[in-house]
Structures are given as structure tokens and as C-alpha cells.
């Protein structure tokens, strides 16, 4: 932590990361109405303004990381809705990430929590082969009937910590269609140029179909799509979870994997990854060997909807006769400031009717791994989102982030609703097919009885 001197005040830092942005806050309170946790709890310390006071007080050494302080900071979704409405331009996302990194330094938790973080952040996310092996084990867990037994017998309630919430969100992992994205998907028709695509970590093993649909849609619009070898996790989950050192490591590795490609853009179909990669220039700004490389890299990153909306979609487009509603992922609408592009793309699809979703830019409670570490609050926000979805009468929710897809689909399933949740590239891909309509999603496993455990106190931010 930094302490002021009598002459020159030391810069405010937490975990070595600057939190000078707290001084931009004018405490106007415009962020309060946009903060999901403040809306639910009504407590000042669970608002952006209150958390900024906590962060500044921590950096100045006026308070310590008590259980209460940790809980208020850990309850932040990092949805960055406050940034969208802030007239002073407070970089709140960077502030809360620094605070969570400081929590991890001072309050890493007990052996069980540290083991779970090691398995996820050190082992699975850093090593794609280990992630694929873990996915294979989970496929066996589902296909063998063991998952059904664990859920119906109530054994899930015996799992420690937040593991019941993890298990409840586990999506179906199909045995087919697991082939990696080809190194090159050639453009169809007149060639516009060449783009690279992030295949991701969890995205590649759970939502490989989305990656393939993304490549097909880009190709139909004239782009050669390359999937560079050696890429893996971009580090977004590590950064959001306070694992700053490994977030830096993964950023450098991602830059190395892509910077040799001569491409017009690096296209990303996961919102949290896109927002994080666009911030590499800031993340690595203090590293002389990487600062310029990171800045150049970040300037080429584009969300898939942002990129495709730069020109009219190439035809012919087949009718997709559905009524859908659109949910804005936080790190698209608030992190990347992209609101109109997805809707502009959907408006070009014949037969598709898009109805407005109340609070469409309100967090669904997924927020990276928030629904696993803060399941009670995540559940409250999810039920709020599901009520709005059901009120639209739509047959599907379209969005652009795997976390949102898992979270909202789980909530709809628990509500007994047949409404599906689709990635925007699935709708676009269907419009380029000769069949029209949308294929049904795989059947979801029944939710567990322990899907909504009580809110945990103490250090549970990741």
C-alpha cells in the first residue's frame, strides 16, 4: 500500500497497481441507479461510489481488509455499468481489479480455496491440454449417468464451498463436434481480406460450435479466417479474479501467438475476452519490453458484431422466422461501448422479429466466475433477468457471451421455460444456411436442488 508523505504524496496503489483513478470520482451518485448490487441491497458500500471510498481508504492505509471490506468489494460484479454513466470518466474496472488483486495478496483464503484457484487459474486456464482433459472427464461424468445420480440423490449438497453452484451451471458437453477450428477457413466469394480469430479456452472446449459458426459467417462475408496455433486463455478470468501476475503472463502469450499474422483484425466472439484484450495496452503499459507491442495488438481487436457491422451483410440471407430478444453482455455494452452493432446485424435477417428486453444491459449475474463465487447475489440478478425475458414473449434470447448463455439458460430451465439462449453468430449462421429456422439447443440436465446456496461471507471473490 502507498502512504502519503508530508511533501510529495505517493501515488495510490494496491498490489502495485495504480488506483489514482479514485481521485476522479466527484461522488455525484449518478452511478447508483446503474449498479445491480446497490439496486438489490440499497447499501452505500455496495455501490460504485462506496467501493471507491473503500479502495481509496485501503490505498491510503486508513483501513484494513476486514471481512466486511472484503465482502463489499467481492460483491462487485465488475460489470462496469457505472463507467457508462460516469460523467468524470472514473476507470472503475481497473480500480476493482486492483482491489481484488490486493485481496488475493492479503487474504488468499484457506487450503481448499487456494487449491481450487490453483486448479482453475494455474492448471486449467494456463494449459489448454489440461483443460481438454478436464472437459473429457466431465463428458464421461455426464454420459455415464453419474451426474443424474449426484443430482437426484442429493449428494450434490455434500459438496464443499461453492461447488454446488459450479455443478449446477455445468452445460451439456456433446461428444461430437469437438474438432478444433481449422488453421484457415477460406473466404467464400469475393475476398475482402484476412482476419485472425480467438478460439479461447473454455470457449474452445464447451462452445466450439460457436467458434465454427463465427468462422463460417466471417468467411461468407469475404474474410479468410486464421486460427493461430499456440493461442490459449487471454487472461480475462485471471484479471477479474485478482490473479494479476498470471493475467500479465497470458496477455504476453496471446500477443505472441497473434502478432506474426498479417490480418485486418483479431475477431473475438466472447465479450469478456474482447474487453480484456482491448485493454492490453493499459495492462502492460509499465512493461518497456511489451508496452508498444500490447498497444498495437489491442488496436486490432474487434468484437465479432462490431466487425461485421462495419459493412452490410453479404447475401443471400435466408429467412429465420422467430421472435427473439437481445441481452447486452456487460463487457460488450459497458466494457467495449458496443450497443447498436448487434441489433443492426439482427435487423438484416429476413423474418426475424426482435423485441426489446427491459434492462437489456443489466447484468445477468454471470460476470466471469461471479455466479460461482457469489451464487446468492448472482441468483437474485438471474431471476430478475429471467422475469424480463419471459415478459417479452420471445422464443429465444440472443446474446454474445458464453457466461451469459450458461447463466440465462440455467435460469430459464429452472423456471420451466422452453425459451432458448443463442449466440448471435448462431442466428447469423442459420441465416446463411439453406434450411432456415434455428436448430434446437441440446437438452439441459435438470437443475440441482442446491443451485441457490446462501450467500457466503468472507473472502469468496474468486
pTM of the predicted structure, to 2 decimals: 0.87
**Joined grid coordinates for residue 112:** 481448499
CA dihedral 191, 195, 201, 206 (to 10 degrees): -20
Mind giving me the DSSP string for 59-78?
A: HTTSS---HHHHHHHHT---
CATH architecture of the domain covering 13-106: Orthogonal Bundle (1.10)
Query: In 3D, which of 89, 117, 90 has the Cα closest to residue 103?
Result: 117
Measured CA angle at 412 (ends 407, 413), to 5 deg:
95
Q: 47: Cβ–Cβ under 8 A, 6 or more apart, which residues? A: 31, 32, 35, 37, 38
Give the containing element (helix H, strand E) for 332: helix 330-333
CA 168/CA 80 separation, integer angstroms: 26
Instruction: Report the pLDDT value the prediction gives residue 404, as an integer from 0 to 100.
Output: 94
Cell numbers for 89, please give them.
Answer: 470518466
- List CB contacts of 189: < 8 A, sequence separation 6 or more: 220, 222, 314
Angle, vertex CA 355, rays to CA 351 and CA 360, nearest 5? 135
d(CA 229, CA 102) in angstroms, rounded, equals 34
Note the pLDDT of residue 210. Answer: 93
pLDDT the model gives residue 455: 32
- One-character DSSP codes across 348-416: TSTTEEEE--TTTTS--S-TTTHHHHSHHHHHHHHHHHHHHHHHHT-SEEEES-HHHHHHHHHHHHHTT
Supply the angle between the helices 291-299 and 244-258 in degrees, to the nearest 10: 70
Place of cell 452511478: 31
CB of 54 within 8 A of CB of 73?
yes
Using alpha carbons only, give the angle 186, 189, 192 rounded to the nearest 5 degrees. Answer: 70
* CATH class of segment(s) 322-431: alpha beta
The cell 446456496 sits on which residue?
A: 453
β-strand pairing of 223-226 with 396-399? unpaired
pLDDT at position 372 is: 82
Each of the 462 residues of the chain gets a pLDDT tens digit; together they read: 555 555 667 889 898 889 999 999 999 999 999 999 999 999 999 999 999 999 999 999 999 999 999 999 999 999 999 999 999 999 999 999 999 999 988 988 778 777 777 777 777 777 777 777 877 787 788 778 887 887 778 777 777 666 677 777 777 776 655 677 899 999 999 999 999 999 988 888 888 899 999 999 999 999 999 999 888 899 998 888 888 888 999 999 999 999 989 999 999 999 999 999 999 999 999 999 999 999 999 999 999 999 999 999 998 999 999 999 999 999 999 999 999 999 999 999 999 999 999 999 999 999 888 888 898 999 999 999 999 999 999 999 999 999 999 999 999 999 999 999 999 999 999 999 854 434 443 333 344 433 333 333 333 443
CB of 402 closer than 8 Å to CB of 207: yes
How do beta strands 396-399 and 420-423 pair? parallel
Q: Quick one: pLDDT at residue 1?
A: 53
Q: Which H/E stretch holds residue 224?
A: strand 223-226
Please check whether the two domains, 184-308 and 322-431, share a CATH topology.
yes
Q: Is 284 helix (H, G, I), strand (E, B) or coil?
A: coil
Taking phi over 0 as left and psi of -120 to 50 as alpha, with beta for the rest, 302 belongs to: beta
pLDDT at site 307 = 97
* Cα 88 to Cα 107: distance, rounded to the nearest angstrom: 31
Q: What is the pLDDT of residue 129?
A: 76
Give the domain ranges of the chain: 13-106, 111-168, 184-308, 322-431
* Cell 475476452, located at residue: 273
Residues 424, 326: Cα–Cα separation, whole Å: 9
Closest CA to 431 of 213, 222, 271: 213
Peptide bond connecting 316 to the previous residue in cis, omega within 30 degrees of 0: yes
Selected from 3.40.50, 3.30.750, 3.10.20, 3.40.1350, the CATH number assigned to the domain covering 184-308 reads 3.40.50
Amino acid at each position: 500500500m502507498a502512504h502519503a508523505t508530508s511533501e510529495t504524496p505517493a501515488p495510490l496503489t494496491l498490489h502495485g497497481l495504480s488506483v489514482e483513478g479514485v481521485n476522479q470520482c466527484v461522488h455525484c451518485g449518478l452511478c447508483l441507479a446503474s449498479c445491480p448490487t446497490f439496486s438489490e441491497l440499497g447499501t452505500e458500500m455496495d455501490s460504485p461510489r462506496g467501493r471507491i471510498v473503500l479502495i481509496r481508504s485501503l490505498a491510503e492505509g486508513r483501513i484494513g481488509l476486514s471481512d466486511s471490506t472484503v465482502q463489499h468489494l467481492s460483491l462487485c460484479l465488475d460489470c462496469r455499468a457505472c463507467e457508462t454513466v460516469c460523467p468524470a470518466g472514473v476507470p472503475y474496472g481497473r480500480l476493482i481489479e486492483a482491489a481484488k488483486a490486493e485481496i488475493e495478496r492479503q487474504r488468499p483464503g484457506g487450503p481448499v480455496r487456494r487449491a481450487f484457484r490453483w486448479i482453475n487459474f494455474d492448471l486449467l486456464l494456463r494449459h489448454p491440454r489440461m483443460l481438454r482433459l478436464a472437459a473429457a472427464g466431465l463428458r464421461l461424468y455426464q454420459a455415464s449417468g453419474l451426474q443424474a445420480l449426484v443430482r437426484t440423490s442429493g449428494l450434490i449438497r455434500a459438496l464443499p464451498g461453492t461447488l454446488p453452484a459450479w455443478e449446477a451451471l455445468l452445460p451439456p458437453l456433446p461428444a461430437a463436434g469437438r474438432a478444433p477450428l481449422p488453421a484457415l477457413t477460406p473466404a467464400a466469394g469475393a475476398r475482402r481480406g484476412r482476419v485472425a480469430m480467438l478460439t479461447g479456452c473454455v470457449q474452445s472446449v464447451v462452445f466450439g460450435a460457436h467458434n465454427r459458426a463465427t468462422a463460417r459467417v466471417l468467411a461468407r462475408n469475404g474474410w479468410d479466417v486464421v486460427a493461430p496455433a499456440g493461442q490459449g486463455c487471454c487472461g480475462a478470468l485471471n484479471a477479474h479474479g485478482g490473479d494479476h501476475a498470471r493475467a500479465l503472463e497470458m496477455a504476453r502469450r496471446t500477443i505472441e501467438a497473434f502478432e506474426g499474422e498479417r490480418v485486418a483484425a483479431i475477431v473475438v466472439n466472447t465479450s469478456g475476452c474482447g474487453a480484456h484484450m482491448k485493454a492490453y495496452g493499459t495492462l502492460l503499459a509499465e512493461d518497456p519490453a511489451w508496452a508498444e507491442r500490447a498497444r498495437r495488438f489491442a488496436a486490432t481487436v474487434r468484437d465479432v458484431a462490431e466487425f461485421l457491422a462495419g459493412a452490410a451483410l453479404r447475401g443471400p440471407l435466408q429467412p429465420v422466422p422467430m421472435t427473439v430478444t437481445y441481452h447486452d453482455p456487460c463487457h460488450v455494452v459497458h466494457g467495449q461501448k458496443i450497443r447498436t452493432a448487434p441489433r443492426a446485424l439482427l435487423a438484416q435477417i429476413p423474418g426475424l422479429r426482435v423485441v426489446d428486453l427491459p434492462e437489456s444491459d443489466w447484468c445477468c449475474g454471470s460476470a466471469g466466475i461471479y455466479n460461482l463465487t457469489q451464487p446468492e447475489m448472482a441468483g437474485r440478478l438471474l431471476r430478475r433477468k429471467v422475469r424480463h425475458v419471459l415478459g417479452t414473449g420471445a422464443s429465444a434470447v440472443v446474446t454474445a457471451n458464453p457466461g451469459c448463455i450458461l447463466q440465462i439458460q440455467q435460469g430459464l430451465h429452472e423456471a420451466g421455460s422452453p425459451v432458448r439462449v443463442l449466440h448471435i453468430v448462431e442466428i447469423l449462421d442459420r441465416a446463411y444456411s439453406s434450411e432456415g429456422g434455428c436448430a434446437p439447443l441440446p437438452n439441459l440436465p435438470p437443475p440441482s436442488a442446491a443451485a441457490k446456496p446462501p450467500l457466503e461471507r468472507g473472502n469468496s471473490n474468486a
